Amino acid sequence: MKPSSLVCTVVAGLISGPAISGPHDEPHLNIISRTKDEAARIAKVTAPATDFSVSAPFEEMSAGAATVRVRPNADAFSEPSGNISFEDELNFKVGNGFFRKLWVSSPSSTLASDGLGPLYNARSCQRCHLKDGRGHPPEGPDDNAISMFLRISIPGTVEDNMAEIEDYLATVSDPTYGSQLQDFSLPGHPAEYRLQIDYEEVEVALADGETASLRSPTYTAADLGYGPLHEGAMLSPRVAPQMIGLGLLEAIPAADILAGADPDDANGDGISGRANIVWSVEYDMPMLGRFGLKAGAPTIRHQSAAAFAGDIGISNPLFPDPWGECTQAQGDCRAAPHGDKDDRTYEIDQEGLDLVTFYSRNLGVPKRRNADDPQVLHGKEVFYSTGCISCHTPSFVTHRLEDQPEQSFQLIWPYTDMLLHDMGEGLADNRPEARATGQEWRTPPLWGIGLTEQVSGHSYFLHDGRARSLLEAILWHGGEAQAARDTVLTLPTADREALIAFLESL
């Protein structure tokens, strides 16, 4: 199936020239074009490894000059970019203050912090991204210290601004519950639901007579506060992802990401990465999706603003509704007092949003550990030979940028292609998002994954935290990753342990 003329125009613009409506192909970046010489050097340094006896040059520096030292505690993901200036480190710290701020209800004497809810999932960004790390599902019926919610949508008509894009999937928000379910509310307002998860253990046979157990979840939106869900409602569980390296991912050239796309599997390797094309409320144009579990947001600012509105109920310049996610069916919620009646205009103004964006853009990626350890090097070879790099692309070089020295022209090792892949029925949420189908997910970056337990206090992985270890996460892979997963099943114990050691070194 050929892409529509609009998609061709979008992709052509992203790669080589002006996009449809924007000032240039990547309007969120002030780019200095690469020379042919630089392009040749980049192709050489990002070529897949062939020698596994030693680590690649600069491989320990996961984020190039922005890499940070590994702190021995839970603050390992909370350092500013290693190459940040003294002046900008102050901006980083002020942005951190906004990120950690506990919002309160209106009316309040603390005018700079009011506007919470009335429906919300958390009172601050930090409450979901604790220590800037990975969230987790509830560990029992009384566990409220979670950072997980359910997205919700129903089948609908394609939005006008995306109507010509091939494969743009027709979904709309639930008329009662919006686009995500909030499990907290201010006094006088019922919460929308309570998240209930029931697990079933599934045993998987491994080589050498060993076994692993996977927990298969069933999700229920229990104790609904505003009546039954709409017929055909689609629910998608989401755990807050780690925050490190976002600015570097944002600075990867769109052309380099799109070069890895192979939607029709033209090379016959079974891998069909696709770009998500999403509507930017920031630039009023289609853009390449980069952030979120299905690449549903094109920029860090867009992602941050959407989280303020949806997760906390805080209005901002990109999502100006003072009631956050409250729908027309939730009239009392919309009519409640809000925190936008002062000089800010919005509950978080442009300056505050910019500071949070700057903070999120500059959370440093820790240095690799044990990159030259023989077991880690062997595990790297296993990672390559099983085909994992078909989706988890090891390295990129970021754009040269006029005004972002921390992200400018860095050799980085995120282990992601930033594309959508069909991960099979086992991981499917069956909820589309823009061009992403109900079985597709964006390849998550792997950098820092070995520090998850140190930072977040747990070792839960995947989009919903169902995997309790890296091995379980691998064994959940299906769809395009089925062949790689099946290869891991047959690995001798020593090879399998080496693979995990490699991942833990990232």
Question: pLDDT tens for residues 273-299?
Answer: 999 999 999 999 999 999 999 999 999
Give the mean pLDDT of the chain: 92
Closest listed residue to residue 498, CA positions, set 414, 412, 386, 365: 386
Across the range 135-162, mean pLDDT stands at: 78
Across the range 261-269, mean pLDDT stands at: 93
In a domain, 119, yes or no: yes
In a domain, 350, yes or no: yes
In a domain, 355, yes or no: yes
Predicted local confidence at residue 342, as pLDDT: 74
Q: Output the CA–CA distances (angstroms, integers) from residue 230 to 48, 84, 119, 173, 219, in the order listed.
A: 48, 48, 19, 10, 16
* Helix count and strand count (H, E) for the chain: 14, 15
Predicted local confidence at residue 172, as pLDDT: 85
Residue 343 has pLDDT above 80, yes or no: no
Residue 88 has pLDDT above 80, yes or no: yes
Residue 506 and residue 498: Cα distance in Å, rounded?
13
In a domain, 14, yes or no: no
In a domain, 313, yes or no: yes
Report the half-sphere exposure of 393 (CA within 13 A, side-chain side). Answer: 25
| Domain hosting residue 382, numbered range | 36-505
Cis peptide before 107 (omega within 30 of 0): yes
* Percent above pLDDT 70 for the chain: 91
Per the CB < 8 A criterion, the answer to whether 193 and 229 are in contact is: no
In a domain, 494, yes or no: yes
Predicted local confidence at residue 432, as pLDDT: 93
Residue 175 and residue 1: Cα distance in Å, rounded?
33
Across the range 11-15, mean pLDDT stands at: 40
Quote the number of domains for the chain.
1
Residue 142 and residue 140: Cα distance in Å, rounded?
6
* Residues whose CB falls within 8 Å of the CB of residue 52, separated by 6 or more in sequence, listed in order: 377, 378, 380, 381, 384
Across the range 238-247, mean pLDDT stands at: 97
Q: Which of the four pLDDT bands, split at 50, 70 and 90, describes residue 118?
A: very high
In a domain, 30, yes or no: no
In a domain, 442, yes or no: yes
